[in-house]
Structure 1
């Protein structure tokens, strides 16, 4: 199972919503940003897997908050920052990856060294890493045992790294942008799904505001989750 939650705005007051069926680094990247977006030979870093259609090569998205890009994680560059985020109590309550860096490293390495069905990424907004994402094949994940999955269903997990970025609608804006990136670059994918913990009402609310619909409650081994779905067919309506 991929992580315990798609935590977006943990620790904030949720907006009411219906349904039908350690802070980030305080700097602007220069040379480091170049390293984020390119390999040593200067070419764009593109995932070699076919299962998720090269997440690392997806172009940036323009959002209300600025230009946003998904950048696949590199342990030597990103482990310390992501581990620090995982030790934020508001994040740890749902991701359950608090502790020494080795805890986060093990979680990341299992994806990086895997078969490409899950790609861990930094979310870089206006040149600044400020969130952590996992883009994964939900139909190939243990999650598929708990709901009527369809081929190429694509899942997302999210956490916002810095306290100052939570509770102001940023999670909603980025969720919509990333769901659009998935649908734009994965033509075989008809649905983007997520399974936030039902207790994390700010996260559920953010998904609803981003055009996802509440599909069902599902009992997973480590939580009771809200199955959230964004349908390609309803993309222009929600």
Structure 2
């Protein structure tokens, strides 16, 4: 399976907007009633130091993944690696027919491989699915993420999971 990543660009906005409104995405990644202008403001113009990526599977646009370096200002800082860098990731599979096929673990593995190559000081990766998103929790566990804690955040309850990177 060939998985590739493209930095989010203006031309991706209609696709990302459609994905963010899909019922299977909104169930666990609810950005509210978003139109393309709101998605642009949130994902491209809002001072995003780390823009997200559209990922493709066999050349087909399939979903979105974003990353954020965990710093002392981040609420997840207490679970950061004691040395080196810690990054957080979020993933959504936008196309409904691609869910439930084991794609999530493959995408995360490919993304982490690229992140490790770019950030050699990477030591830990955090991900924070809703505990109700059982499929996502299982997918992340297949990659090697382990539960660290349950937290109440402004966007709801999350299960913070971590993966230590050798």
Scaled by the length of structure 2, what TM-score is found? 0.88
Q: Cα gap change, 1:140/1:109 in structure 2, threshold over 3 Å: closer, same or farther?
A: farther
Supply the distance in 1 between the matched residues of 2:72 and 2:5 (Cα, whole angstroms).
21
Which residue does 1:184 correspond to in 2?
117
1:94 and 2:36 equivalent? Answer: no
- Structure 1: runs of 5 or more not aligned: 1-65, 234-238
Give the secondary structure class of the aligned counterpart of 2:125.
Answer: strand
- Structure 2: runs of 5 or more not aligned: none
Select which of 42, 46, 57 maps to 1:107.
42
Q: Pick which of 90-99 and 187-196 moved more.
A: 90-99
Which residue does 2:14 correspond to in 1?
80
Tell which structure's C-alpha radius of gyration is larger. 1
Give the secondary structure class of the aligned counterpart of 1:82.
Answer: helix
Q: How much is the aligned-residue C-alpha RMSD, in angstroms?
A: 1.8
Is 2:52–2:67's contact at 8 Å kept on the other side of the alignment? yes
1:164 and 2:97 equivalent? Answer: yes
Q: Cα gap change, 1:158/1:140 in structure 2, threshold over 3 Å: closer, same or farther?
A: farther
Which residue does 1:148 correspond to in 2?
79
Q: Which has the higher strand share?
A: 2
Supply the distance in 1 between the matched residues of 2:131 and 2:12 (Cα, whole angstroms).
29
Supply the distance in 1 between the matched residues of 2:126 and 2:3 (Cα, whole angstroms).
20
Q: CA deviation at 1:79?
A: 0.5
Q: Cα gap change, 1:173/1:138 in structure 2, threshold over 3 Å: closer, same or farther?
A: same
Higher relative contact order (CA 8 A, sep 6+): 1
Scaled by the length of structure 1, what TM-score is found? 0.63
State how many pairs are aligned: 163
Paired residues for 1:14-163 under 5 Å: 66-75=1-10, 77-97=11-31, 98-110=33-45, 113-114=47-48, 116=49, 118-139=50-71, 142-144=74-76, 147-150=78-81, 151-163=84-96
